[in-house]
């Protein structure tokens, strides 16, 4: 029986990012995806026009419907648009602290459209971060959460150490937004640091890559991988997805989340 992964995130109607991308990536990795929607966005490959948050109680009820019926083996959260939703998710996870939990601290869409209110930061740092098996910010998000400059691997390690000190068990700084060492990801745990280097793929079709990467890691954790192996396999998954992008849309197109099973 395939392990169940619960992803908690916003909806992208173009299906390149958010809950739709998570669902496809998790299934492609061999797990079963269950979903909780936190926000309805209006977006496509050219940008994001609007986002409407779901009521926190509705988010909680969606999650409970899954958690009280399916045997969830791992949880991922992506877009948490306001503090009420973030607190609802934190409360649910605090009651199930043994579950592997991947925190993808989504701050903005690729076009810069902000996807969360300022009040989320405190909830993330004080309640969600200490529950995380791994937190997966890109360089921009790492700078936002820590206040540190993150332009290269040295800066990534400093930011990762700051987040580790706040309670995360592992921190993965994704390297796609680094000014130097671009494309190299850094994983920091209490056992030390590892880097994951891949060939830089020069393409505009990177819509939803952070969502897909963190979803693949969550699926691998549910399948029994340790964090080091889960990140390595997640890195390979997102590289294959980017390199075989279907070239859809008139802007920054989605990746091919079925690359690993084609």
Rounded CA separation 75/80 (Å): 14
Give the DSSP letter of residue 225.
-
Q: Helix 227-243 crosses helix 209-222 at what angle (to 10 degrees)?
A: 140
Q: Is 224 a catalytic residue?
A: no
Beta bridge partners of 254: 207
Other beta carbons within 10 angstroms of residue 241's beta carbon come to 27
Q: Is 211 annotated as catalytic?
A: yes
Annotated active-site residue in 35, 45, 206, 255:
206
Active-site residue (options: 24, 76, 174, 235): 174
Q: Which entry of 211, 235, 253, 255 is annotated as an active-site residue?
A: 211
The torsion of the CA quartet 187, 179, 41, 102, rounded to 10 degrees, works out to 0
- Single out the catalytic residue among 10, 16, 210, 234: 210
Given 146, 209, 218, 255, which residue is catalytic?
A: 209
Could you say which of 110, 208, 234, 253 is catalytic? 208
Terminal CA-to-CA distance of the chain, rounded, Å? 22
Residue 206 among the catalytic residues = yes
DSSP-derived secondary structure letter, 241:
H
| DSSP single-letter state for residue 112 | S
Catalytic amino acids?
A: 174, 206, 208-211
């Amino acid at each position: 029986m395939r392990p169940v992964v619960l992803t908690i995130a916003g909806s992208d109607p173009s299906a390149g990012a958010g809950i739709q991308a998570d669902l496809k990536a998790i299934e492609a990795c061999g797990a079963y995806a269950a979903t909780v929607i936190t926000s309805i966005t209006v977006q496509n490959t050219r940008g994001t026009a609007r986002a409407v948050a779901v009521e926190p109680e509705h988010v909680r009820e969606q999650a409970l419907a899954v958690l009280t019926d399916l045997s969830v083996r791992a949880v991922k959260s992506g877009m948490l648009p306001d503090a009420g939703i973030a607190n609802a998710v934190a409360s649910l996870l605090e009651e199930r602290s043994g579950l592997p939990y991947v925190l993808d601290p989504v701050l903005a869409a690729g076009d810069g459209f902000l996807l969360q209110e300022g009040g989320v930061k405190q909830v993330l740092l004080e309640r969600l971060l200490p529950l995380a098996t791994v937190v997966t910010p890109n360089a921009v998000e790492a700078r936002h959460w820590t206040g540190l400059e993150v332009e290269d691997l040295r800066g990534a390690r400093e930011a990762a150490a700051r987040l580790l000190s706040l309670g995360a068990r592992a921190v993965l700084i994704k390297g796609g937004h680094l000014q130097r060492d671009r494309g190299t990801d850094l994983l920091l745990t209490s056992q030390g640091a590892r880097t994951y280097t891949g060939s830089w793929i020069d393409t505009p079709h990177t819509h939803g890559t952070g969502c897909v990467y963190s979803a693949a890691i969550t699926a691998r954790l549910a399948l029994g991988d340790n964090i080091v192996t889960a990140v390595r396999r997640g890195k390979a998954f997102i590289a294959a997805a980017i390199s075989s992008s279907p070239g859809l849309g008139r802007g920054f197109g989605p990746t091919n989340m079925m690359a690993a099973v084609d």
